[in-house]
Amino acid sequence: MNLAVCADVGSTYTKAAVVDLDGGRLVGAAAAPTTVGTDVLHGLDAAVGAAAAGLAAGDLPWYVCSSAGGGLRLAVIGYEPLVTAQAGRRVGLSAGANVVHVAAGRLGAADLTALRAARPDVVLLVGGTDGGDADTLTHNATRLARARWRVPVVLAGNADVRDDLHALLAAAKVPVTAADNVLPRIGVLTPAPARAAIREVFLRHVIGGKKLSRGGRFARLVRAATPDAVLTGVEVLADALGGDLAVVDVGGATTDVYSVLTPDERDCGPSQEVAGTLWRARTVEGDLGMRWSAPGVVRAAAEERLLAAGEEDDLAAAAAVRAADPGFLPADDADRAADRRIAALAATVALRRHARGAATGERAGRDLRDVKVMVGSGGVLRHAPPGDAAGVLAAVLGDHAGGWPLPRAARAVVDVDYVLAAGGLLAADHPGAAAALLRRHLAGG
């Protein structure tokens, strides 16, 4: 068989799969604890060894993504908060980044202090449509150059001054990569070039800088940030389905939502959304998670009026236990019931925010009525009995009080075999295998 290894080095667990590239079949899969405390290669090699038992894994091509060490931290600097800064934020999320800081307008001393305090791995510098305002982008690039900024910068603003500002930053020894404008015209959002540039910078600068491994082997293996690989997998699955798709990934620290919608020309243009519509979008809810962020789930659920009378105190106590011990594993039926409830609440609140536009920044929200498949992901769903996982997704699809347009006829499925990341990793080199793998495991064939 023509095989490849796909692996995701997560913050807690490293998941590995061996895929038959000729038929898009899953040959083997396994997981091992991520060994951030020593060398992430230890956990990676253990997971791959278990997934490829009996095979010469070292002779196979490896496709690896990573969110270990906190993933990719991105800051966005734009011209105006509701237009280019918002457009940059959406592009950053689509590139698999955790957007830790957004600034708009001319940077001052206090703004630089706040930017440094956010500790970004990469800065996305945007501003001005092509042929539009160039003063703010020029001011901000000049300010970074004079501040002896050393964090990598992706420059994706007004094309009229891009070359000059690239030369300015490079002369000041700022690591800079240029890309096409994220917002070339009002209402037109072009994420692909900046997303590719952010991916390149992540691979070239960030992975090695996190000191997750000794030597250069890990940096050579990694091809994408995990959320970027997953979004690519979501896009491949949506294309295979030929329709709208949504994914909710409930993790220990965050709950991520991905959606792919069919473009509608009636929803485009300056009259609808001046920062542009991102038809393939991802949002990150940093206060919603199963372990580190479990208390945030209870708070958010209370604010959304999702909790039954008398439920908040007991659930808050359970959430506190999980936040204090991120390695917590359910020991009895009561623990498992609390995990199911926290997962259902995290997924429901995250989908509400995503669909209303609160998380994407879209004023009109995201219309998920035509979603064909709702995919659930995350360890709490993968390792749960099928009925429990189905119950979590049923809570999301039955959220009639949430103020968002529910899918009218969505099929719920859980990514039990964790193939979304593998499909995303294989998409560029082996598109047929990627599509076949995702169809087989998530689309019923």
C-alpha span between 14 and 34 (Å, rounded): 5
Position 363 confidence tier, pLDDT thresholds 50, 70, 90: low
Task: For residue 372, count other CB atoms closer than 10 A to its CB.
Answer: 17
pLDDT digits (tens, 9 = 90+) for 226-255: 888 999 999 999 999 888 999 999 988 889
- Per the structure block, which two tokens stand in for 67? 């969110």
Q: Averaged over 286-311, what is the pLDDT?
A: 93
User: What is the model's pLDDT at position 266?
Assistant: 43
User: What is the model's pLDDT at position 359?
Assistant: 59
User: What is the model's pLDDT at position 270?
Assistant: 37
User: What is the model's pLDDT at position 230?
Assistant: 92
pLDDT digits (tens, 9 = 90+) for 67-116: 887 778 899 999 988 777 888 888 888 777 888 899 999 999 999 999 99
User: What is the model's pLDDT at position 397?
Assistant: 94
User: What is the model's pLDDT at position 273?
Assistant: 52
Task: For residue 273, count other CB atoms closer than 10 A to its CB.
Answer: 22
Average pLDDT of the chain to the nearest whole number:
90
Q: Averaged over 430-436, what is the pLDDT?
A: 96
pLDDT digits (tens, 9 = 90+) for 263-294: 765 444 433 454 455 678 888 888 899 998 99
User: What is the model's pLDDT at position 326?
Assistant: 79
Total number of residues shown for the chain: 445
Coil, helix or strand at residue 7: strand
User: What is the model's pLDDT at position 275?
Assistant: 45
Q: Averaged over 285-314, what is the pLDDT?
A: 93
User: What is the model's pLDDT at position 269?
Assistant: 41
Strand partners, 388: none
User: What is the model's pLDDT at position 268?
Assistant: 45
Coil, helix or strand at residue 350: helix
Q: Averaged over 413-441, what is the pLDDT?
A: 95
pLDDT digits (tens, 9 = 90+) for 108-145: 999 999 999 999 999 999 999 999 999 999 999 999 99
**How much of the chain exceeds pLDDT 70, in percent?**
95
pLDDT digits (tens, 9 = 90+) for 164-193: 999 999 999 999 999 999 999 887 888 889
pTM greater than 0.85 (yes/no): no
Q: Which residues contact 437 (CB under 8 A, 6 or more apart)?
A: 19, 24, 25, 26, 419, 422, 423, 426
- Per the structure block, which two tokens stand in for 187? 């209402």
